[in-house]
Each structure stands twice: as structure tokens, then as C-alpha cells.
């Protein structure tokens, strides 16, 4: 038998006594063992759970970042399409001016030809295509600028619309 005395801090109050027989002691040990096993089990599972939660949060944030980057890529592709149309309009204008002035058509042409690399992944292919188009646009704009610089030396003829 176990006797537990609960003594209050005020000495005027009565002391409480709790008596535990052998059956209650065994039952308390069994309950405490079960609680301790639960605590140890949760401590053992905690790193796995924490790792899984971290991975899920990281995957969600990367998914959001991927969507943002994809939207930026779409905006850039739309902008490059607009630049290509503008470049084509300017190229036609320069061709008209070259024809009016009777200059060589090979004036200012050249540059690098960059072939497209084929990839299985559609996103990589789109990104490579966007990079290729950007490089081609840069070279075409440089050639157009050279042609425009050369045409600035000639006055605009009265029959053409400059």
C-alpha cells in the first residue's frame, strides 16, 4: 500500500491523504507506461511529419512560383510577337526605301543563324524557342538599325512615304 499526503501551504487547513492499494498502483503504472509510450512514439514520428509538412509547403510554393514564371514567359512571348510584327513592318519600310533608292538588297544582312534544339519537355522547348526568338530579334534590330543609319544620309524622295 502507498500513502500520498497532500499538504496545503496554509497550515490551518487539513492534510489530505490518498491511499493506493496494490491494484491501483499496478493500474497507475500501466497507464503511465501507455502515456510514456505515446509520448516516445510521437517524438519518433515528429521528424517524419515535420519533413512531410515542409516538403508539402515547399512544393506548393514552388508550384506558385512556376505559375508566376510561366505567366511571365507568356507575357514575354506576347511582347516578342509584337516586336516581331513591328520589326517586320520596319523591314518592309526599309525594303521600300532600298528599292526607291536603288541600293543593294544585301545591305546590312548577315548575322548568326541559331538552330532550334528539340527537347521532349514542352516548357523547355518554349523557353528555348523564346531565347532563340529573342536572339533573332536582337540581330534583326541591329541589322535594321544599320540600314536605317545608312538611309539617314539620303533625303526622302517626294514620291515615297517615309
* pTM for this prediction: 0.42
Grid coordinates of 134: 529573342
Q: Calculate mean pLDDT across residues 106-122.
A: 51
Q: What is the pLDDT of residue 71?
A: 92
Angstrom CA distances, 47 to 40, 50, 51, 146, 157, stand at: 12, 5, 6, 64, 80
Instruction: State what percent of residues in the chain have pLDDT above 70.
Output: 80
Question: What are the residue ranges spanned by the domains of the chain?
Answer: 2-151
The answer, yes or no, to whether residue 10 has pLDDT greater than 70, is yes
| Selection from 69, 89, 68, 77 nearest residue 140 by Cα | 89
The answer, yes or no, to whether residue 118 has pLDDT greater than 50, is no
Q: What is the pLDDT of residue 144?
A: 80
Q: What mean pLDDT is reported for the chain?
A: 81
Angstrom CA distances, 13 to 8, 16, 59, stand at: 7, 9, 61
HSE-CB for 84 with a 13 A CA cutoff = 12
Do residues 111 and 143 make contact, with C-beta atoms less than 8 angstroms apart? yes
Q: What is the pLDDT of residue 57?
A: 94
Q: Calculate mean pLDDT across residues 136-147.
A: 82
* Distance separating the N- and C-terminal Cα atoms of the chain: 112
Torsion sign (Cα): 105, 107, 112, 114: negative
pLDDT digits (tens, 9 = 90+) for 46-90: 888 888 999 999 999 999 999 999 999 889 889 988 988 888 888
Amino acid at each position: 500500500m502507498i500513502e500520498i499526503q497532500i499538504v496545503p501551504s496554509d497550515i490551518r487547513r487539513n492534510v489530505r491523504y490518498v491511499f493506493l492499494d496494490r491494484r491501483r498502483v499496478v493500474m497507475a503504472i500501466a497507464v503511465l507506461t501507455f502515456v510514456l509510450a505515446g509520448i516516445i512514439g510521437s517524438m519518433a514520428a515528429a521528424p517524419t511529419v515535420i519533413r512531410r509538412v515542409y516538403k508539402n509547403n515547399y512544393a506548393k510554393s514552388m508550384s506558385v512560383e512556376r505559375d508566376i514564371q510561366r505567366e511571365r514567359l507568356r507575357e514575354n512571348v506576347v511582347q516578342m510577337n509584337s516586336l516581331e510584327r513591328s520589326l517586320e513592318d520596319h523591314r518592309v519600310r526599309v525594303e521600300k526605301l532600298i528599292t526607291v533608292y536603288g541600293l543593294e538588297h544585301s545591305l546590312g544582312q548577315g548575322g548568326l543563324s541559331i538552330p532550334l534544339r528539340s527537347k521532349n519537355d514542352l516548357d523547355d522547348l518554349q523557353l528555348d524557342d523564346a531565347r532563340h526568338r529573342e536572339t533573332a530579334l536582337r540581330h534583326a534590330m541591329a541589322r535594321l538599325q544599320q540600314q536605317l543609319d545608312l538611309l539617314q544620309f539620303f533625303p526622302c524622295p517626294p514620291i515615297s512615304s517615309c
